[in-house]
Amino acid sequence: MADAPGRARRGLGRLALGLGAVALAACSPGDPPGPAPGPDGAPGPVTVQVCGEPVRYDRVPVRVVTHDVNITELFLYLGLGDRLVGYSGIPATKAIAPEFRAQLDRVPNLSSHEMNLETLVGAHTDFVFGGWSYGFRENGVTPDSLRAYGIASYILTESCIRKQPRTRVSVEDTFADMRNLGRIFRIEAHAEALVARQQAELAEIAQALEGIRHRPRVFVYDSGVEAPTTSGRFGMPHAMIEAAGGRNIFDDIPSNWPKGNWEDVVARDPDWIVIIDYDQPGPQGKIDFLLGKPELANVTAIRKRHFVVLQYAEATPGPRNVARTRTLAHAFHPERLP
């Protein structure tokens, strides 16, 4: 067993050479351009910032595993589906966007729940795209444990709050991930074009909301009966609500998905409630639960039936954040975004 890392690295090297040629041959005109060769015919190493630390990637990954639906969508959105050899963390309760379903159906589901190191090594993976609490966990699979088997990794920027202090989370964090992945896979121009498209839409929303006088109060309800799981100021819904001209009522909690309390929901009286469509019950079940709580009866959002539903992949960092920011802005400010 002590020789396992060495065997894995040698096996991965042979697979990388063979599959790299196949991947390049399979590219269609609509695919992102492949990496430009260096003087020796192979792309040189690149270094990107991952959770505030420089990480060097010596070669272009060819056998990739992603974890969770939002991360998988982001990878496929970049046009890198030909590199995907497996995914994990996408149970039936997490819906993937229809435009990515066919690509996902072509690769194996390695686990509906947590990452498994043995499975990743057995799949001859050379790169894992996950995040802290998006597959990576202490005493579980970590970038360090993968590195021992010659497997590179990338950590979702939003999840870095689990390991280092941050001042804020922004929709721009996802753009940073797109740019970093563009460098790692040597498709910088393609990634930058996708970022520019989304930045333009975000700028349109900002322009439409310029000079708003009122920011409605918003409560994000993910789950929970005794206490609500919500979005704090380091969660992507917080960033989306801010960009949509609202104010997260739990912006004083320095975390991404913390526990709140019902007393504060009542006291802070949200104008809108964002329901995260994740796990059970479904969104209507969650709405019915909130409508049936006597202590919430006088909350403005409850009285006015002001609910917006976001799927899990829309409320976590991924390619759908900007479009759903527009959805929120339309709900909060219909006079500005009809």
- Of the two residues 32 and 112, the one the predictor is more confident about is 112
Q: Which of 125-129, 168-172, 200-204, 287-291 has the lowest average pLDDT? A: 168-172
Across 286-290, average pLDDT: 98
Share of the chain above pLDDT 70, in %: 88
Structure tokens at 172: 């721009």
Q: What is the pLDDT of residues 28-86, one digit of tens each?
A: 334 454 444 544 456 899 999 999 999 999 999 999 999 999 999 999 999 999 999 99
**pLDDT, tens digit (0-9, with 9 covering 90-100), for 159-175:** 998 888 888 899 999 99
Residues 128, 87: Cα–Cα separation, whole Å: 9
Give the per-residue pLDDT at 14: 35
pLDDT at residue 90 in the model: 96
The per-residue pLDDT for 162 is 84
Q: Decide: 317 and 74 in contact? Cβ < 8 Å.
A: yes
In this prediction, residues 261-289 reach a mean pLDDT of 96
- Which residues does 14 contact at the CB level (< 8 Å), separation at least 6? none
Phi, psi of 13 (to 5 degrees): -60, -45
How does pLDDT run across 306-320, given as a tens digit for each residue? Answer: 999 999 999 999 999
Q: Read out DSSP for 315-329?
A: HSSSTTHHHHHHHHH
In angstroms, the CA 153 to CA 126 distance is: 8
Residue 109: phi, psi to the nearest 5? -85, 105
CA-to-CA distance for 132 and 157, rounded, in angstroms? 9
- The stretch 256-271 carries a mean pLDDT of 96
Confidence class for position 24, pLDDT limits 50, 70, 90: very low
37 vs 240 pLDDT, higher one: 240
- Which range has the worst mean pLDDT, 18-27, 88-97, 126-135, 208-217? 18-27
Element (H, E) at 57: strand 53-57
Domains of the chain from N-terminus onward? 4-22+35-198 (3.40.50.1980), 212-330 (3.40.50.1980)
Dihedral of alpha carbons 153, 159, 163, 169, sign: positive
CA 203 to each of CA 26, 172, 320, 322: distance values in angstroms, whole numbers, following the listed order? 36, 12, 16, 10
> Strand, coil or helix: what is 54?
strand
Query: Which pLDDT score is estimated for 284?
Result: 97
Instruction: Indicate the pLDDT class of residue 5, thresholds 50, 70 and 90.
Output: very low
Average pLDDT over residues 117-131: 97
Confidence of residue 296 (pLDDT cuts 50, 70, 90): very high
Residue type at 317? P
pLDDT in tens, 182-199: 999 999 999 999 999 999
Please say whether the beta carbons of 172 and 166 come within 8 A: no
pLDDT, residue 2, reads 35
- Residue 19 has which token pair? 């599959």
pLDDT, mean over the chain:
89
